[in-house]
Homo-oligomer: A and B are copies of this chain.
Amino acid sequence: MTSQYSKLSRREFLAQISQTAATSALIRAATAMGITASAIGCGSSSNANSGGGGNNPPPVQQNPSPRPADWPAGVGSGSSVIILGAGIAGMVTAFEMSKLGFQVTILEAQANAGGRCKTLRSGDIVTELDSEQNCLFDDEPGLYFNPGPARIPHHHDLILGYCREFGVALEPFINENKAALFHSTTAFNGQPQIARQIIADTRGYIGDLLAKATRDNVLNINLSVTEQNNLIALLQQFGSLNANLDYQGTDRAGYAGQENAGGRLRGTQVDPISLNDLLASNFWQSQLDFFQSLDQQSSLLQPVGGMDNIARAFEQRVADSIIYSAEVSEIRKTSNGVNIVYRDATQAQMSLQADYCVCSIPATVLRNITNDFSAQHASAINNFVYSQSGKLAFQSRRFWEQDHNIYGGISWTDQNITQIWYPSAGYGQQQGIIVGAYTFGAAAGTEFANLSPSQRVTWGTTQAGQLHNEFLTETSAGISVSWPKMPYQLGAWGVSDPGVLTTADDNILFAGEHLSQLQGWQEGAVLSAYNAIDQIVSLVQG
């Protein structure tokens, strides 16, 4: 069966919370979920509430979604396609359609391919609508920053399959780290708490309360004596309870005297946080369960040396079909196909005709391009909502490893920087790149977008300094990307219901992560490409 719950919209989910939880809890839950659509996507995972809350899946991707094996060999011979955009969706489309015999051309507005699949290294330049930054990292292989996609869940088997086929080397990406921090400006006097303690204490109190309720036979459930005893024993281990079923702390939470728990050998077990403080801290609204969600569960992966190795691998295979620096100005329908007008690198106006078009231009950009789209499609494009997310990274001595035993993972704060990411590679090196801010949620993302690059550095180090004061003293070369400020992107990832945009508009199909069940993920870009190709194959076959 499919859980009703997993089909709830965010609004429905909140409506339901409101039936059981206090208004204050509702408001906080809304905040935790980033209820502006913009929290949905890879940043917060498409199920920050882990029971769903994502968009309703577009019908076309149900049972099963199409796969290249479904398409007859040579089906494309004699047919032509123009693909708009050389991001992952566009290049997957080109790669697969070429194999099917289609004559493929990609128009890419920028001088390079990859779109948001981007890695910044020493000497790179970030050009936003109203600013330009130079990447001042030292020129070393380990010093890079993935401002866009930065992790791949282990079950995203399409993008992982391409990595295997193309020989893109992968390594573990540490997402959950119990040595990382949970920080609330309104709890524990603003002192960051170590994840291991919050998680262990939460399990402890849950186990304590339920084990006693089970023992006292106050549960409204039928269990045999053996099952009852098994449930109590389960909860003893689940919560690390003593023989009286009391939770009195556990070494899972670490030892006092050293935040890094190396202190276990010198100190005493840390005291548990009280249940009341735990409930008041609100960590449970997102941080506590975040890594349980399907797309955030261990294990995750990353390309060795930078996410753009994936873009480069695709580009090697489709480069001959790409026209770079080709900015599309008109998308026209013809009697039997499409006519695309664009300005080339010399600003000369050019046009290109083909039987079909796959448009992977983000809706935020596409809505400003003259077109012949149907009223339905145009309206969906005009109203499509995007996440405003951005990231800020620094080079630094790897103080998080050397001084705090934090090797990879994510720390959380209720400040607008939202997350700190520690690198999953280069352990033991002196210098590393740390992500000091990853904003999602419309308020944080918009604030970030409206700051100048130098303002973001001050803003980020001030907030991140609340978790690690080394941000104020040891970080350098701060560089940021605000996706709504990036030309030809104008947003981080789509969060509206793909709806009609997953269907053909005459001979025009649409693609991109925003038109998938996995918005904000490269896997979603692949799925959207397969959907577009599948419908063109059907059109060709008549």
A17 within 8 A of B: yes
How far does the alpha carbon of A358 sit from the alpha carbon of B288 in the complex, in Å?
A: 47
A219 touches B227 (CB 8 A): no
Shortest CB-to-CB span from A518 to chain B, Å, is: 7
Provide the residues of chain B in CB contact with A540, threshold 8 Å: none
Closest to A57 in B: B265
Shortest CB-to-CB span from A71 to chain B, Å, is: 16
How far does the alpha carbon of A409 sit from the alpha carbon of B176 in the complex, in Å?
A: 14
Provide the residues of chain B in CB contact with A298, threshold 8 Å: 174, 176-178, 298, 409
A196-207 vs B: 1/0 string, CB under 8 Å?
100110110011
A352 within 8 A of B: no
Shortest CB-to-CB span from A121 to chain B, Å, is: 20
A337 within 8 A of B: no
B299 touches A260 (CB 8 A): no
A251 within 8 A of B: yes
Q: How many copies altogether?
A: 2
B218 touches A248 (CB 8 A): no
Residue from the list B64, B206, B301 in contact with A407, Cβ < 8 A: B301
A250 within 8 A of B: yes
A180-201 vs B: 1/0 string, CB under 8 Å?
0000000000000000100110
Interface size class of A (residues with CB under 8 A): 35 or more
Provide the residues of chain B in CB contact with A436, threshold 8 Å: none
Residue from the list B231, B260, B285, B428 in contact with A169, Cβ < 8 A: B428
A299 touches B163 (CB 8 A): no
B292 touches A227 (CB 8 A): no
Residue from the list B19, B155, B170, B280 in contact with A428, Cβ < 8 A: B170
Residue from the list B63, B200, B234 in contact with A279, Cβ < 8 A: B234
A482 within 8 A of B: no
Shortest CB-to-CB span from A287 to chain B, Å, is: 10
A407-426 vs B: 1/0 string, CB under 8 Å?
11100000000000000110
B299 touches A409 (CB 8 A): yes
Provide the residues of chain B in CB contact with A62, threshold 8 Å: 266
A210 touches B200 (CB 8 A): no
Provide the residues of chain B in CB contact with A294, threshold 8 Å: 196, 251-252, 254, 261, 264
A20 touches B51 (CB 8 A): no
A293 within 8 A of B: yes
A10-39 vs B: 1/0 string, CB under 8 Å?
000001110111101100010000000000
Q: Pick 19 A–B contacts, CB within 8 A, sort by A.
A: A5-B249, A6-B249, A17-B236, A20-B243, A22-B226, A25-B233, A50-B240, A63-B266, A64-B265, A65-B265, A155-B179, A155-B264, A157-B260, A167-B428, A170-B427, A196-B297, A227-B280, A233-B284, A301-B407
